[in-house]
Amino acid sequence: MASQKVSLACTICGSRNYTVMLSKDRTVRLAVKKYCSHCGQHTLHQQTK
Ligand SMILES: [Zn+2]
């Protein structure tokens, strides 16, 4: 199955702090809580296109 590289951006400051590999048939937008060094706290990171 093919996969694509997507960035996870902080929903507070917009910094793209993480990249993950996702399968291409994934339709749901990924959103996870991760540490943002810019905000200095754990924030929600959302998949960017
Ligand atoms: Zn942030």
Three-state secondary structure along 19-49?
Answer: EEEEECCCCCCCEEEEEECCCCEEEEEEECC
pLDDT at 49 over 80: no
Average pLDDT over residues 2-12: 93
Q: How many domains does the chain have?
A: 1
Q: Are strands 31-36 and 16-23 parallel, antiparallel or unpaired?
A: unpaired
State in Å: Cα 3 to ligand 1 middle.
26
Q: What is the CATH number of the domain that holds 9?
A: 2.20.28.120
State in Å: Cα 28 to ligand 1 middle.
22
State in Å: Cα 46 to ligand 1 middle.
11
Average pLDDT over residues 14-32: 89
State in Å: Cα 16 to ligand 1 middle.
8
Domain span holding position 35: 3-47
Q: Considering the entire predicted model, what is its pTM? A: 0.82
* DSSP letter (8 states) at residue 13: T
State in Å: Cα 47 to ligand 1 middle.
14
What is the model's pLDDT at position 2? 85
